[in-house]
C-alpha cells in the first residue's frame, strides 16, 4: 500500500504582496497604462482640479484676495438663493425641461432602433440611419440659427401657416412655445445618434430566440415585446439611470441662444441663471453656490435611481 501523499500548501509569506502584484500588472500592461495617461490627465486637469474652487460657494470671493484669502460666509449664498424671487421659477423650469427630455427625447432613440431593426431593406435602413445621424454633428449654434430662420415672422413655418389661412406667430418670443421647441429640436438632433447603442444591443440578441418564437406562431410585434425589448432592457436601464443623473444638467448653451427676456418665464433655468449671475454680474461666489446645489441634486438623483434599480432589478451601475 502506497503512502498517502499530501499536497503542500504554500505559506502566506510566499504569496506575492499587493505591491508586487501591482508592479507585475503594470509591467505586463505598460502600453495600456501609457494610453490611459491622457484620459487621466484630462479628468485631473479639467474635472478634479477645478473642485478646489468649490469653496468659493462658502466664501465672499474677492479677486484681490484669491480663493484661499477670501472671507468665509458659510451658507449665506445658499440662503440668498433659496429666498430669491427667481428660485421657484428656475427650479420648475429646470425640472420640467429635464422631465420632457426623459419622456420624449430618451424613448425616441429606443423607438427608432426598434423600427430600424424591423426594416428588411439594408439600403433603406442605412439611408435612414445616415439621415438621422447627421443632425448630431451640427453645431448647436447652427441648429438654433436654423430655428430662428424657419420660425421668424417671414420664415418657412409662418409662410405655411399664412398659406393655410392662419396668423403668423413669433414662436421664439412666446413663452408657451419654448419648451416644445427645445424638446422637439433635441429629439431631431439626438434621436439617430442615441439609437446606435440600442442597435448594437439588438445585434447581440441570439437569432435562435426569434426562430423559436416564429415556430410558436409569434408575430413581429410579439417578438419585439417578448424578445427584443427584454433583451435590451439592461442597456435601457443603465442609460436611463445616467439620464436621471443629469436631469437638471440641461443644454445651457442652447437655451442661452434660444431664450430672450420675453421667454424667461418658461426658459430660465439654473444654468442660465448661473451664467447671468456669475458672468454678467460677476457674483462668482453666489453662482458657485447655485452650481454646487445643482450638482448635489444631480448626484442625489443618480444615487437614488441606481439604488431603486438595484433593488427592483439585477441591473445597476455599481
Q: For 21-73, how does the pLDDT look when each residue is reduced to its tens digit (9 = 90+)?
A: 888 888 888 888 889 899 999 999 988 888 888 888 898 888 888 888 888 98
- Please report, for the domain that includes residue 113, its CATH number: 1.10.3720.10
Q: What CA–CA distance (Å, rounded) separates 2 from 21? A: 40
Local confidence band at 14 (pLDDT 50, 70, 90 cut-offs): low
- Helix (H) or strand (E) holding 175, with range, is helix 175-203
Domain count, the chain: 1
Looking at every residue in the chain, the average pLDDT score rounds to 87
pLDDT at 3: 53
**In this structure, is residue 249 part of a structural domain?**
yes
Longest dimension (CA), the chain: 107
Q: What CA–CA distance (Å, rounded) separates 93 from 179? A: 9
Local confidence band at 252 (pLDDT 50, 70, 90 cut-offs): confident
Local confidence band at 95 (pLDDT 50, 70, 90 cut-offs): very high
**In this structure, is residue 132 part of a structural domain?**
yes
**What range does the domain containing 155 cover?**
90-312
**pLDDT more than 90, % of the chain:** 28
**In this structure, is residue 21 part of a structural domain?**
no
Q: What CA–CA distance (Å, rounded) separates 174 from 151? A: 11
Q: Is the pTM of this model over 0.85?
A: no
**In this structure, is residue 135 part of a structural domain?**
yes
Local confidence band at 13 (pLDDT 50, 70, 90 cut-offs): low
**In this structure, is residue 283 part of a structural domain?**
yes
Does the pLDDT value for residue 19 go beyond 70?
A: yes
Amino acid at each position: 500500500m502506497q503512502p498517502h501523499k499530501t499536497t503542500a500548501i504554500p505559506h502566506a509569506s510566499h504569496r506575492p504582496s499587493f505591491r508586487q502584484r501591482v508592479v507585475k500588472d503594470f509591467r505586463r500592461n505598460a502600453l495600456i497604462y501609457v494610453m490611459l495617461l491622457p484620459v487621466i490627465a484630462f479628468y485631473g486637469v479639467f474635472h478634479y482640479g477645478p473642485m478646489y474652487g468649490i469653496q468659493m460657494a462658502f466664501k465672499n470671493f474677492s479677486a484681490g484676495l484669491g480663493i484661499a484669502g477670501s472671507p468665509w460666509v458659510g451658507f449665506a449664498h445658499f440662503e440668498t438663493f433659496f429666498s430669491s424671487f427667481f428660485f421657484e421659477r428656475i427650479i420648475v423650469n429646470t425640472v420640467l425641461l429635464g422631465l420632457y427630455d426623459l419622456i420624449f427625447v430618451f424613448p425616441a432613440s429606443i423607438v427608432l432602433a426598434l423600427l430600424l431593426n424591423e426594416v428588411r431593406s439594408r439600403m433603406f435602413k442605412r439611408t435612414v440611419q445616415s439621415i438621422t445621424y447627421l443632425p448630431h454633428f451640427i453645431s448647436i449654434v447652427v441648429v438654433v440659427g436654423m430655428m430662428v430662420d424657419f420660425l421668424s415672422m417671414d420664415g418657412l413655418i409662418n409662410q405655411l401657416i399664412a398659406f393655410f389661412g392662419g396668423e403668423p406667430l413669433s414662436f421664439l418670443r412666446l413663452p408657451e412655445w419654448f419648451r416644445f421647441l427645445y424638446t422637439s429640436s433635441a429629439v431631431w438632433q439626438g434621436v439617430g445618434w442615441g439609437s446606435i447603442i440600442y442597435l448594437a444591443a439588438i445585434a447581440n440578441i441570439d437569432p435562435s430566440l426569434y426562430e423559436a418564437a416564429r415556430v410558436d406562431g409569434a408575430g413581429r410585434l410579439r417578438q419585439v415585446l417578448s424578445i427584443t425589448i427584454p433583451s435590451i432592457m439592461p442597456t435601457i436601464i443603465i442609460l436611463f439611470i445616467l439620464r436621471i443623473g443629469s436631469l437638471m444638467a440641461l443644454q445651457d448653451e442652447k437655451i442661452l441662444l434660444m431664450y430672450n427676456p420675453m421667454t424667461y418665464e418658461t426658459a430660465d433655468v439654473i444654468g442660465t441663471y448661473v451664467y447671468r449671475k456669475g458672468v454678467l454680474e460677476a457674483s462668482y461666489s453666489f453662482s458657485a453656490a447655485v452650481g454646487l446645489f445643482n450638482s448635489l441634486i444631480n448626484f442625489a438623483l443618480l444615487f437614488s435611481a441606481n439604488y431603486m434599480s438595484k433593488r427592483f432589478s439585477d441591473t445597476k451601475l455599481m
